[in-house]
Amino acid sequence: MSKMNILPIVLMMGLPSFALAQKKGAVKNNTAVKDSIPKVENTKTADGLKPYDEVITKKAVSRSGMFRIHQIDEQYFFEIPDSLLNRDILVVNRISKAPAGLRPNLNVYAGDQVAENVIRFEKGPNNRIFMKRMIFREKSADSTENGMYRSVLNSSLQPIVASFPVKALGKDSSSYVLDLTSFIQTENEILHFGPEAKKGLALGAIQTDKSYVVSINAFPINVEVKTMRTYMPAAPGSTLPATYELNSSLVLLPAVPMQPRFADARVGFFSRGIVDFDAEPQRVSSRYYATRWRLEPKPEDRAKYLRGELVEPQKPIIYYIDPATPKKWVPYLIAGVNDWQAAFEQAGFRNAIKALPAPENDSTWSIDDARHNVIVYKPSAIANASGPHVHDPRSGEIIETHINWYHNIMALVHDWYMIQAGAIDPRARTMQFDDELMGQLIRFVSSHEVGHTLGLMHNYGSSSTVPVEKLRDKKYVEEHGHTPSIMDYARFNYVAQPEDKISERGIFPRIGAYDKWAIQWGYRWLPQFTSADAETPYLNQLIIDSLGKNNQLFFGFEMDAYDPRSQSEDLGDDAVLASTYGIKNLQRILPQLPEWTRKPNEGYENLREMSAQLFRQYNLYMAHVLKTVGGSYTTPKSVEQAGPVFEPVPYKKQKEAMKFLDNYLWNIPEWLSNDQSFQLTGSTAEPFFGTIQFTAISRLLGSGTLINFIKNENRYKDRKLYTCTEFLTDLRKSVWTELYSGKSIGLNRRNLQRTYIDAAFTAFRAVNEIVGRNSGNGLQLYINPDPTKSDVASLMRRHLLMLKKDIATAIPYQTGFAKDHLENIVARIDKALKEGNEIPK
């Protein structure tokens, strides 16, 4: 099969990279990565070394595990077996206890990861053991005949981060006794804070007299080091030191790395990138390993698995629930994990994933033990949850995860549900939900975060595959759900209308067709293929066949700045129609908020908060439609697939979007502006509209959007396009309607027009920026290149001249503030045109 290229869908440096499945020249996976430092033979003599019993005396308290750990008073000795030299060890550092009195903007909690490294112990000369930090960025096939392999090693010498004299040989001379006391107690990035975490927490120098080792415990495949660390503050104006209890997990990585699976842009897995010198015969290639757990049948069940029977995996994925979690929510968190069992059944495994309460009264179990995956409860005001994971950099194998569940996530899901489902679910019409409803909301969040820990990225494109009218079809939506993926940010079915009588099953997100298929792609055991390259043709054909049969398996990259199918919190295949239905429900909800938010003996803070949530939801609908204008579809494909990868949004959809914005954004609807609750809260629609109007105008007149229009006109001359000229004409007539109607220009419209002029000037002048604006739809990232390096500057100069002419014609028909406003705009345009394309200083 011919070679596939990495698709150019990465939008900016620093974002995750994705590639279609890659082939040729894979790294051999049955060989651990070797180093180029020559090994010094161990003579197994005691020259210069003390006898074992003189070093590890009778005072020693010893613990057996991956290493034997010996504690003598305040000294800590590691006894490292010869068999574990040259083995890769993953080091994960987490905060086990966070300090009180931190600066308000530092959200630091127990369980937060602060550093991750891979180390290796190697025998050096003169009876010394070196600790090396292993960096896996470049690979070449391991072969004594491969000159490139030797060259890569010579150019990739791994750094020695510590050196330890051997204090004694083990009793049978097959192990080495090292004193690691000083290393553990001295600040270093291997066992303590990584440099970025330390900088972010504003930590200064360590105070050694206030720092000490709490405990060191040994387990079969890991060692857990717990220390108390006190730091001087590095932040200006801060005088209090900060004390953290840190837990460092040293986990033995597999001697034989898991066979990797190359990431593919058509399936949303997180990936680990390397530079491969063998993948291409005449160039260097970037390769990306999908991150996933090692899931294999038990040896006795392999024949059954290959016959298509469901079998249990050799090692299931088990999550424990933090003992600190409020008991009433534990069953829902467990259910959120167990919901994924159906997805793994599509990959051939039953009981592959499950959740359990943390063992009680078991001194051997620890939440900090890196062998355990834990859903960690954090008593925090943060309204969020997150699902990170730690993986083997050599293969992408996920080793462990600690899901963060912040207590105040309940406030977030409450507010979403009241505003998005209040019109169709009576249970949503109160400030305190019953435990069953809140439990089901927690379950949905749990399922979503578990998906991340299985390697799955957000799939923002999933919801765009469902026809909007199907979201009002009770039978369809209750059977299939309102989005094919729980990994989408498709919260609740805001399209459904009260008369549709849709139940909770058609309102809530749940694991869907895409999730099951993605797990099948990532976790199907394929023993017939001996390398990632060998399985690539099979997996490529699986994707082609699956997408050909079911378009709801589409994956949309969350950081795609111009594809309107890939958005946060949108629903359906038609943003205009879905948003129109959503607005109808908001009209029903707004007058009910005073009653729904009422609490005896309290003021109107709840009403103020939920009014803000309603405006946020309205803004979301505007943002969903906004991305259609000047947008382009990106559909990753291999060379075996027909059809374009890139194409512009159709003319009709863009025209409908512009009409929608004219109806619902450039003018504040009367039902919002006339809402009387402002008399109780002081909150009005105007500030919220000012924010979304600013965001919308800035994006529409940004050089990135205008360049996209111009490029499409140049590339697609065989179809009817929404041209840049037509777009600017439509936008001018919408925002500057009063110039042509003779109506007086009100305050809100004058503010909108000033925003328009500011954005037009920016698109006329020499700027080059990556833009991040919060529109209520999350952070909207897009690029505004220098307009003077394209046709944008000349286009906008002509546009400003036309606008100036129309304004000059309209000035005699305006009076008062409106007339002053237009005269000022003319003066500003004259000044801008006189200054040219340079930014005024």
pTM (2 d.p.): 0.86
pLDDT (tens digit per residue) in 579-609: 999 999 999 999 999 999 999 999 999 999 9
pLDDT (tens digit per residue) in 721-734: 999 999 999 999 99
Q: Do the Cβ atoms of 631 and 787 come closer than 8 Å?
A: no
Contacts of 333 (CB under 8 A, 6+ apart): 321, 325, 355, 375, 405, 442, 443, 446
> Helix and strand tally (H, E) in the chain?
25, 26
As a whole number of Å, the end-to-end CA separation of the chain is 58
d(CA 73, CA 687): 65
pLDDT at 150: 47
Collapsing DSSP to helix, strand or coil, 256 comes out as coil
Contacts of 411 (CB under 8 A, 6+ apart): 383
Q: Do the Cβ atoms of 523 and 349 come closer than 8 Å?
A: yes
Residues linked to residue 269 through DSSP beta bridges, in sequence order: 456
Q: Can you state the percent helix, strand and coil of the chain, rounding each to 5?
A: 40, 20, 45
pLDDT at 773: 45
d(CA 721, CA 716): 8
pLDDT (tens digit per residue) in 369-425: 778 899 998 877 777 788 888 899 999 999 999 898 888 899 999 999 999 999 999
H or E segment and range at residue 690:
helix 685-700
Say if residue 723 is exposed, middle or buried (CB neighbours under 10 Å; 0-12, 13-18, 19+): middle
Q: Which residues of the chain register pLDDT less than 70?
A: 1-47, 100-107, 109-111, 137-157, 235-238, 275-285, 766-782, 837-841
Contacts of 682 (CB under 8 A, 6+ apart): 608
**Which of 670, 678, 800 is closest to 748 using CA atoms?**
670
Contacts of 751 (CB under 8 A, 6+ apart): 690, 693
What angle is formed at CA 389 by the lines to CA 384 and CA 393, rounded to 5 degrees? 150
User: By percentage, how much of the chain surpasses pLDDT 90?
Assistant: 67
DSSP category for residue 329: G
Q: Do the Cβ atoms of 111 and 378 come closer than 8 Å?
A: yes
237: alpha, beta or left, given left = phi > 0 and alpha = psi -120 to 50? left
H or E segment and range at residue 803:
helix 792-810
pLDDT at 494: 98
pLDDT at 455: 96
Q: Are strands 373-378 and 75-81 parallel, antiparallel or unpaired?
A: unpaired
Q: Do the Cβ atoms of 430 and 402 come closer than 8 Å?
A: no
Residues linked to residue 363 through DSSP beta bridges, in sequence order: none
pLDDT at 5: 34
